[in-house]
Amino acid sequence: MKNIEWSSLEFGYTRTDYNVRCHYKDGKWGELEVSDSEMLTIHMSSTCLHYGQEAFEGLKAFRGKDGKIRVFRRVENAKRMISSANHVMMIAPPVELFTRAVDKAIKLNEEYVPPYDSGASLYIRPLLIGVGPRMGVAPAKEYLFVVFVSPVGPYFKAGFKPVKAMLERVYDRAAPNGTGHIKVGGNYAAGMLSTHEAHERGYALSIFLDSKEKKYIDECGPANFFGIKNNTYITPSARTILPSITNDSLMTLARHLGMTVERRKIPVEELATFEEAGGCGTAAVISPVSIIDDLSTGQSIIIGSPDTAGPWSTRLYNQLRAIQYGDAPDEFGWNSIVE
């Protein structure tokens, strides 16, 4: 194992030894290559640089008490990258290439998979970009698929503790029939100013509203939103929302724990009725939200305790983490062991 202070890691980039790459050229994918360089050399007229032909993924691998490395639901990330690529007219790596590249990147860097009980994990970042010279607005003819990894700590500094959020009343993250449902860089660029302004005002994140009517909850920063009341897990359903693999897993666990699950529009006025709420995603798993301020009305919505996550959120969080670290049986077949 590398000599890293695992427990003080933040959610950031740490150099590892290798990454893997694959080129799509002349109508086919080449061999998977291993690189020890952190740099990419691409044509300055690449479509990823000018026209946003870019998609990425984010998933994690965990070291268990038994020393085994488990990667979580990587086939779902492969499928989502295909969906992202199709929408922005890129050629996607097939599922088999994607999973092979992910496993290889983990295996090559296995000394960077944090020890069990450090609270850290290995974040895996698959990236797909359109490359090669292009001047007109049209899909690239060549693509580069890269998978690199980085050991990471928790996304939010406070860890599994409630955070304060603000309702975003000015900016939109994604257009109603745009690209919100796929994982492309442009969505993150569109959301950056909002997050920046939220941070400046002392909030951990901003909650986006539907961009058409500004009536319904959309995304919760770079995560899906969920609210809980009356033993019911409620999460918004809209084309502008990224289908979160964490959220899908939490819905499965919620049903399993006896909760009712609803996927539907959540009007802003409903926020005040939730007993618990949070954002969910690979990086944070669950980030409980206890205060949501609407700066346009001055209303402050208090959800649960400001100091501790609610009981259902805690149960769901613990159960998902237990499966990911191999402490609980993998009943739904979510883990793949990297050998």
Write out the catalytic residue numbers. Answer: 183
H-assigned helices in 145-296: 185-200, 245-256
The residue among 81 and 242 lying less far from ligand PLP, judged by its C-beta, is 242
Q: Are 271 and 207 in contact (CB under 8 A)?
A: no
Minimal distance, residue 25 CB to ligand PLP, in Å: 29
- Who's near 266: CB < 8 A, 6+ residues apart? 216, 217, 225, 227, 234, 235, 236
282 lines the binding site for ligand PLP (CB under 6 A): yes
186 lines the binding site for ligand PLP (CB under 6 A): no
Contacts with ligand COI by CB under 6 A lie at 58, 222-223, 281-284
The residue among 205 and 254 lying less far from ligand COI, judged by its C-beta, is 205
206 lines the binding site for ligand PLP (CB under 6 A): no
126 lines the binding site for ligand PLP (CB under 6 A): no
Q: Which stretch binds ligand PLP (CB under 6 A): 28-36, 158-166, 245-253, 331-339?
A: 245-253
Minimal distance, residue 188 CB to ligand COI, in Å: 6
58 lines the binding site for ligand PLP (CB under 6 A): yes
244 lines the binding site for ligand PLP (CB under 6 A): yes
Minimal distance, residue 283 CB to ligand COI, in Å: 3
Q: Determine the angle formed by the axes of helices 311-324 and 245-256, rounding to 10 degrees.
A: 110
Minimal distance, residue 36 CB to ligand PLP, in Å: 27
- Who's near 5: CB < 8 A, 6+ residues apart? none
Report the half-sphere exposure of 6 (CA within 13 A, side-chain side). 18
Question: Which residue pairs, CB below 8 angstroms and at least 24 apart, start in 40-45?
Answer: 40/144, 40/146, 42/129, 42/131, 42/144, 43/131, 43/132, 43/133, 45/132, 45/133, 45/134, 45/135
Residues that bind ligand PLP (CB under 6 A): 58, 219, 222-224, 242, 244-247, 281-282
